[in-house]
Amino acid sequence: MAETWQDVRCARIAAADLPALADLRREGAIHLAIDGPFAWIFWDDDSRETGVTRRVLLERLLPLPGVEMLTRREGIWYRPGEHLPSFEVPSIVPGSSTFLHRSILPGAIPIAAANADPFCPVELRVVREDRGLARPASALRCRLGDLARWADLAPTVRIESLLGAWCPISGDPGAVQALVIARNASLPEIPDGSRYWGDSVLIPIGFRTDPELAETSMREVVGALPDELVILDTASRELIPREAFRTLRRAGIRTAMAGGGPS
């Protein structure tokens, strides 16, 4: 009987050439057996996809150097066109062979070249919070005069639960802007004040940063030192040394209103 490549069911290749079959790992009809420096590849004819499997397999095997093809007639292996059987082929018994995907890693993954375009810098902005996310206020900016009127009526223990700082006074003390920070306490009820959320970076209530970053990253972006408090507003940013903040006291606020410095 004349044999053609469609009758081939086995091939012997160098074990070092197995990576050439890496893209056939999904084909469950392919088995292999390792015999020293050689690998015996077997495929059956039991599925409807076998024709495709055999054709693709032979396309991978034929270009390999030293490959030997074999056909099977009445349970005995022959080289194509020969009448004497080949007894070199190992017997396929349980445990003597394995599936292709258990012995070969996937083929190399092509990696595209990195985009040569330079990265475009993104500006850190303060934008309106449009997701309805509520955050607790942790700081208040208000006029020193408004803070003084609140302090005249507030309990001493509540005043001294806050930290405060204001700029050196020149001109009308009552118009000087003061910044008050809550220390596990509620902020003063001053309607005209601007409230902020955050810890080491303060952002106006109702706003967020774009892009949204962790406070440590935002501090790096603005170049803040470890002992500086950052205030990000829609049109400006401020860096305030933490040593500028003092425990608020009624007497200190009154002294500032009289034209003296913070105490």
Are both 141 and 248 inside the same structural domain?
yes
Number of structural domains in the chain: 2
Are both 91 and 136 inside the same structural domain?
no
Q: Is residue 117 part of a domain?
A: no
Residues 202, 206, 207, 208, Cα dihedral to 10°: 80
pLDDT-based confidence at residue 11 (cuts at 50, 70, 90): confident
pLDDT score, position 52: 62
pLDDT score, position 51: 67
Quick one: how many helices (H) and strands (E) in the chain? 5, 16
Are both 20 and 98 inside the same structural domain?
yes
pLDDT-based confidence at residue 53 (cuts at 50, 70, 90): low
| Contact (CB, 8 A) for 38 and 47 | no
Q: Can you read off the two tokens belonging to residue 45?
A: 């004819």
Are both 147 and 34 inside the same structural domain?
no
- Res 227 pLDDT > 90: yes
DSSP label of 61? H
| Contact (CB, 8 A) for 210 and 127 | yes
CA distance 81 to 216: 76
* 3-class DSSP state of 109: coil
CA distance 151 to 171: 21
Span 229-234, average pLDDT: 92
pLDDT score, position 225: 93
Cα 228 to Cα 37, 214, 239, 247, 248, distances in angstroms:
69, 16, 6, 17, 19
The contacts of residue 199 (CB under 8 Å, 6+ apart) are 138, 215
Are both 161 and 66 inside the same structural domain?
no
| Contact (CB, 8 A) for 32 and 56 | no
Instruction: Tell me the residue range of the domain where 234 lies.
Output: 125-257
- 171-211, pLDDT tens digit by residue? 788 888 999 999 878 999 999 899 999 999 999 999 999 99
- Res 262 pLDDT > 60: no
Q: Is residue 2 part of a domain?
A: no
- 234-258, pLDDT tens digit by residue? 888 999 999 999 999 999 999 998 8
Q: Is residue 157 part of a domain?
A: yes
